[in-house]
Amino acid sequence: MRLGILSFAHLHAEGYQAILKTLPGVELVGFSHEDEGEGRRFADQYGLRRFAQPQDLLAEGLDGAIVCSENARHLELVELAAKARCQILCEKPIASNLKDAQAMKAVCEQNGVHFMTAFPMRFAPSTQSIRAAIGGGQLGQIYGVNGINHSEIPKAHRAWFADKELAGGGAVMDHVVHLADLLRWYFGEVSEVYAEVDNLFYPGEGVDTAGLLLIRLENGVQASIDCSWSRPTWYPRWGHLKMEVVGERGTAVMDSFAQYLNLYSRQAARAHSWVGFGPNPDRAMLGEWLASICEKRPPSVGWNDGYQALRVALAAYASASTHAVVSLERFS
């Protein structure tokens, strides 16, 4: 199977290429990246063939392409890949606005290709076991969920994350979709969103860095999402993904990346770091994508999942600017 990565702008591209190289039957043809200096560096660092333009890479004839550009450029790359009849795995959030997201759906349908949204947390054993506990009734009727997706400001890794034009927003755009997707997966659609959003951590930045959402799902469950870039850059790790599901018969506390060693090293980038030894959900996610290509079927996480999660993030911005509860019906 011949695969390519369209843009290395998103740092997940680095993780994906490392996993793809280990998979039998996969040929990673190369990646496209327009910035020559950056592109050369990635090509040298990872021993990959670089294509200056996405069209050049797609001309090689690929079975699938991973879109890892800045959020605002997803549409243009999805269009190129779909027209080249490539199956698509697209980074989250799938777009920075609903119009772009809808255009992606249209172009994929017109060209008969499947679109998978990169929601790796669906492939983590921790989130799956929480889903099983909820579905199996072990927690009883659910009161609510306390969701946390904290991180450091990702700017040190890639500057565009804090660029409103390219990212479409800051912490809310970056993080809300992961927990929104898990909540949808567990309970069904979101009905209402209330949010406080602001830049409270990096006064010089032009995007939001703090966000608290209080949402309601159609089944009546309430949930909070803290998407803030509130971990300092000297925190032992990038951040974490946590969830507490409080039910009438029990509570489940999830910390997806709790399997780590405490490392205190003179050599490491951080004096104290949490080095994970748990399963890498990206690997299982890529496995599902590749299986869906082989089996010529839609992937388990589709365009609609990315789209619905994006609606929640956009509703959070709307709520924060009006200080009002926003009904999701307004965002379609």
Partner 1 sequence: MRVGIVGSGVMGEVHAAGWRQTEADLVGCWSANLEQAQALVDEYGMRVYHSYSELLENSDLIDICVPTFLHKEMVLQAAAAGKHVVCEKPIALSVEDGLEMIEACQQAGVRLFVAMVVRFFPQYRLSRELIAKGQIGTLGVMRLKRVAYVPRLELSDNWYLDERRSGGMLVDLMIHDFDYARWLGGEVERVFARLNKATDGPGQYAQAVLRFKDGPMALIEGGWAYPPGVFRTALDLSGTDGLIEWSSDEHAPVRSFTLSKEGSSSAVGLPTSGLSDDPYALELAHAYHAILHDQPFEVTAKDGLEALRIALAARESIATGKPVTL
Element (H, E) at 1: none
Nearer to partner 1, 48 or 180 (CB): 180
Nearest CB to partner 1, comparing residues 271 and 324: 324
* Least distance from partner 1 to the Cβ atom of residue 218, Å: 14
Which H or E run contains 116?
A: strand 115-117
Q: For the CB of residue 179, give the shortest distance to partner 1 in the complex, in Å.
A: 13
H helices within the chain, ranges in order? Answer: 12-22, 36-46, 54-58, 74-83, 98-110, 125-135, 164-167, 171-187, 281-294, 303-322
Give the three-state DSSP class for 43: helix
If the CB atoms of residues 141 and 321 are measured against partner 1, the closer one turns out to be 141
Give the nearest distance from C-beta 209 to partner 1 in angstroms: 8
CB nearer partner 1, residue 26 or residue 133? 133
Measured from the CB atom, the residue of 53 and 141 that comes closer to partner 1 is 141
Least distance in angstroms from the C-beta of 221 to partner 1: 7
Shortest distance in whole angstroms from residue 138 CB to partner 1: 12
What is the C-alpha to C-alpha distance for residues 86 and 108, in angstroms, rounded to an integer? 9
Q: For residues 81-100, b (16+ Cβ closer than 10 Å) or e, as one string?
A: bbebebbbbbbbbbbbeeeb
In the bound complex, what is the minimum distance in angstroms from residue 140's beta carbon to partner 1? 9
Q: Which residues are at the interface with partner 1 (CB under 8 A)?
A: 141, 143-144, 146, 148, 194-196, 198, 200-203, 209-210, 212, 214, 216, 220-222, 224, 226, 228, 230-232, 235, 246, 248, 250-251, 253, 323-325
Q: Which residues contact 286 (CB under 8 A, 6 or more apart)?
A: 16, 19, 20, 23, 89
For 219, residues 6+ apart whose C-beta sits below 8 A from its C-beta are 187, 188
Q: Write down the least CB distance from residue 272 to partner 1, Å.
A: 13
Query: Cβ neighbours of residue 245 under 8 Å, at least 6 residues apart?
Result: 130, 133, 134, 139, 142, 145, 186, 251, 252, 254
**79: closest CA among 53, 52, 107?**
107
Residue 66 — φ and ψ, nearest 5°?
A: -105, 125
Report the residue number, 46 or 274, with the smaller CB distance to partner 1.
274
Sequence length of the chain is: 332
Residue with smaller CB distance to partner 1, 166 or 212: 212
Minimum CB distance to partner 1 smaller for 246 or for 284: 246
Nearest distance from C-beta of residue 298 to partner 1, angstroms:
34
**Helices and strands (H and E) in the chain: how many:** 10, 15
Helices 125-135 and 171-187 cross at an angle (nearest 10°) of 40
